[in-house]
Amino acid sequence: MKISEYRMPYLRNVIDEYPSTVRRMYRRGEVMIVDIRTIEEYLDHHIPGSILIPMEFVEDFANILADKEVVIACEHGNRSYYLTRTKSNLFRKCYNMLGGIDLWMRIGYEIASGKDKGLEMLLSYLEGT
């Protein structure tokens, strides 16, 4: 068993994965990538096609995320680790991206910046609250 496939017995729906596996799953359409960083961090750089749901709003989007396989990503993997361990009940299956977006960039994978559809959903939600 690869170390990245290790599942904790008490969190059966949480899996730690490296960016290489996340990228492969994402390109196949198997998962959605949720960026839990701040708006400012997202505008600076993000994974193309990811959606921004800052950590403090994840529970507000539980109905959208509940039936999907979701990769949780942050800058270095600390916030995503915390969220996948404390809010795993919100997801059918969730992946914590080890090393975060920082490792994704260091590997040389694609990065986008600025405003896009991944940010629009959050902004629409914030305007309605």
Candidates 111, 68, 72, 75; CA nearest to 93 is 68
Query: Whole-angstrom Cα distance, residue 88 to residue 12?
Result: 9
The rounded distance, in Å, linking the Cα atoms of 10 and 4 is 17
Give tens-digit pLDDT for 49-84.
999 999 999 999 999 888 899 999 999 999 999 999
Q: Tell me: the pLDDT tens digits for 5-40?
A: 555 556 778 999 999 999 999 999 999 999 999 999
pLDDT of residue 99 exceeding 90, the answer is yes
Residue 29, burial from CB neighbour count under 10 angstroms (0-12, 13-18, 19+): exposed
Q: Which domains does the chain have, with CATH numbers?
A: 11-128 (3.40.250.10)
